[in-house]
Amino acid sequence: MNPPRASFFSQSWLILLLGLLFGGALVAVHTNLSPVIAANQRAETLRQLPGLVLPAAELAGAEITVSGDRIAVRRASGETLDLAVAESEVAGHQLYTLAAAGGAPLGYVVRGIGSGYADDIDLLVGLSGDLERLTGLFVLSQKETPALGDEITKEPFRRWFTGAPATAPLVVVKSAAEAESAPGRVLALTAATISSRSVCDIVNATVAAVRPQLAAAASAAAPAEEGETDGGR
């Protein structure tokens, strides 16, 4: 019999060698791929931003590319719109401020998370530059019932959020006539009222939390126009 130490090495040298070999391979994979993966994760969200701020007509057939803090929107006509994104956190919500390169904010996109019917719903909601209107909705992740609740990701439901007033909470209604009668109404999906209501609740909570702070920041930035309000605080 070998002494214990020699025996340990004779038994396990293969595993130690493999460990070193595999460790090296993993380090190589990690250093090469982790920037790509991080960029993928960011681009996934940033790619949605133009559609949540700009009118749909401006984006018809447009191609969106993301690089760093810049989003390039190449329209079908060939002209390119260059957008700058600034990321910050307001009232616990991720906020993306979208501006034309070197210009004033075009609009804001806020991320909201809340519970849906099956699991948490993670969504982005667009706010116009003057904070008066919602400009769009995009669902990042959800696990609602297939073909019923998951219709919240589709255009017929999302369109109720485009152009709705941001000043008052959205109201969920069950008839199309009622939904069309006034702005700020959302028509509930058939057989998925809870999913529809969950989305509205998340949007309402997100907007209510973020909008006052954004308004305060905007009025602080322009004291000449809103001096009265500023003094009041």
Partner 1 sequence: MAVAELELPAAVDDGPTAAERFIAGILPENPTFRQLLGMCPTLAVTAAMKPALTMVAATAFVLISANVMVSLIRHLLKPHLRILVFTLTIATFVTIADRLLAAYLYPMSVALGPYVPLIIVNCIIIARCEVCGSKQGPFTAFADAAGNSLGFLIGLGSVATVREILGMGTWFGLPVLPAVVPRWVIMVMPPGAFIALALLLALVNWYQARPKRRAEV
Partner 2 sequence: MELFANLLLIAVGAALINNFVLSYFVGICPFLGVSRKLDTALGMGLAVTFVITVAGFLSWTLTEFVLRPGAPLANAVWHAVGGPGDADLSVLAYIAYIFVIAASVQFVEMYVKKFFPPLYKSFGVFLPLITTNCAILFACLLIMKEVVGGNWGLAESLTLPIFGGLGFTLAIVLMAGIRVELDLADVPRPLRGAPIALLTAGILALAFLGFTGMGANLKQALTPAAADAPAAVASVEVDR
Residues lying near partner 2 in the complex (CB under 8 A) are found at 22, 26-27, 29-30, 34, 115-119, 145, 169, 194, 198, 201, 204-205, 208-209, 211-212, 229, 232-233
- Residue 212 interacting partner from partner 2, partner 1, none (CB closer than 5 to 8 Å by kind): partner 2
Q: What is the CA radius of gyration of the chain?
A: 25
Q: 169: which residues sit within 8 A by CB, 6+ positions away?
A: 184, 200, 204, 208
For partner 1, how many residues bind (rule: CB under 8 A)?
A: 23
What one-character-per-residue DSSP string does 3-56 give? -HHHHHHHHHHHHHHHHHHHHHHHHHHHHHHHHHHHHHHHHHHHTTHHHHHS-H
Q: How far is CA 72 from the centre of its chain?
A: 18
Instruction: Output 29 or 86, the one with its CB closest to partner 1.
Output: 29
- Residue 16 interacting partner from partner 1, partner 2, none (CB closer than 5 to 8 Å by kind): none
* Measured CA distances, 61 to 57, 77, 81, 209, 229 (Å): 9, 9, 13, 34, 43
Give 60: exposed, middle or buried? Use CB within 10 Å, 0-12, 13-18, 19+. Answer: exposed
Residue pair 124/109 in contact (Cβ under 8 Å)? The answer is: yes
d(CA 30, CA 34): 5
**Binding marks (x or -) toward partner 1, 5..44, rule CB under 8 A?**
------xx-xx--xx--x--xx--xx--xx-xx--xx--x
- Residue 154 interacting partner from partner 1, partner 2, none (CB closer than 5 to 8 Å by kind): none
Instruction: Output 83 or 151, the one with its CB closest to partner 2.
Output: 151
Residue 190 in contact with partner 1, rule: CB under 8 A:
no
Instruction: Output 185 or 211, the one with its CB closest to partner 2.
Output: 211
Instruction: Output 36 or 104, the one with its CB closest to partner 1.
Output: 36
* Shortest Å, Cβ 62 to partner 2: 33
- Residue 232 interacting partner from partner 2, partner 1, none (CB closer than 5 to 8 Å by kind): partner 2
In the complex, the residues that contact partner 1 under the rule CB under 8 A are 11-12, 14-15, 18-19, 22, 25-26, 29-30, 33-34, 36-37, 40-41, 44, 141, 145-148
